[in-house]
Structure 1
Amino acid sequence: MTAARPHRARIAALLTALLLAPLAVGCSADEAGTPPDARSKSGTSGASAPSTTPPPTPTAAPAPANIEKIAALTGCEATIRIEADELREGVCVTTRGKWIVTTFPEEKFKDIWLDTASMYGGTYLVGPKWAIGGKVEILNELHPEVGGELRKLRDMYAPAT
């Protein structure tokens, strides 16, 4: 019976992180916060008008799955708040704002975490074995620095489109 307790504690820590992390970040976005390349584009015919939009900023190769390295790339020193076998989570607070970096030892844990986070909706910056949660404006700033892709998750109460 005693051997099961550490396992239960790890499961409880993982479930707590999965359920509370998206709420702590408070990251919900609407169409205005969605990056231009992710919005639906209206069709144009024939000749196109000259673009007044600046060319897209080159995106870095995805950062390694290490909170300290990701934090360094973004100019922050992360405060670690969760250390578990299934994930690590660190909080970055700078003059730019606040974001949460979560790393995973395997892709399957990231997939489970994102699946659970989709209950709450929001936008995340996602790379190999890591995810960053925060306001869309901050994620757009971090994207060229750490790479990955922006993923908008639909909350479970949102109507299907």
Structure 2
Amino acid sequence: MRRALIVGLVVLAPLAAGCGGGEDDAAAAPRAEKVSAAASAGVVAPAKVEVIAGLTGCKPKIRIEADELREGVCRTEKADYVITTFPEERLKQTWLDSASVYGGTYLVGTRWVVGAKPEVLDDLRPKLGGEIQKLQGIGPAPRS
């Protein structure tokens, strides 16, 4: 009797699992659609140095390639600027906290930062979005 019960459970287990699989497949289908729709819309997350540079009309020279960040330099006729991207938002915030020691003005977006003169950042902002942040720095203020 016990042997018959075990054999019956072994035979019925795949059938029961097969019946429940249809619900999981139906639930997974919309998620796959959303991912492909985002990809076809050109959504990039996190943004790459090359993508941000391309939006500004520049081909960057990558100078740092690390797990925590990637950094590229853009040199154009109008200006030079540095684009830094991060795999996580918290790494960007750590970078900004460290940069605040030195001061400066940056264009800051989701997982990316562009460093340049304020007038250059004003020109780049309509192309890239983001928010201009001025970091104070430590020590005496420069004389004007």
State the partner residue of 1:54. none
1:116 to 86, 98, 101: 98
- Say which SS state the counterpart of residue 155 (structure 1) adopts: coil
Q: Deviations over 1:49-96 (max 9, x none)?
A: xxxxxxxxxxxxxx9521111000000000000000000000000011
Match of 2:136? 154
In structure 1, stretches of 5+ residues that fail to align are 1-62
Q: Is there any run of 5+ residues in structure 2 with no aligned partner, and where?
A: 1-44
Measure, in 2, the Cα distance between the counterparts of 1:158 and 1:145. 34
- Larger CA Rg, structure 1 vs 2: 2
**TM-score scaled by length of structure 1:** 0.58
1:23-72 Cα deviation digits (max 9, x unpaired): xxxxxxxxxxxxxxxxxxxxxxxxxxxxxxxxxxxxxxxx9521111000
Q: Higher helix share goes to which structure?
A: 2
Query: Could you tell me how far 1:155 is from its partner in structure 2?
Result: 0.5
Match for residue 8 of structure 1? none
The corresponding residue for 2:117 is 135
Name the residue aligned to 2:82. Answer: 100
Structure 1 residues 89-124: Cα deviation after superposition (integer angstroms, max 9, x where no partner): 000000111000000000011000000000011100
Runs of 4+ in 1 over 6 A off after TM superposition: none
How far residue 158 of structure 1 moved from its aligned partner, in angstroms, is: 5.0
Identity across the alignment (%): 58
| TM-aligned CA distance change 1:156 to 1:146, over 3 Å | same
RMSD over equivalenced CA pairs, Å: 1.4
In the alignment, the residues of structure 2 paired with residue 73 and residue 64 of structure 1 have an alpha-carbon distance, to the nearest angstrom, of: 15
Distance 1:151 1:127, change over 3 A: same
Q: Are the structure 2 counterparts of residues 80 and 96 from structure 1 closer, same or farther at C-alpha, using a change threshold of 3 Å? A: same
TM-score (norm 2): 0.65
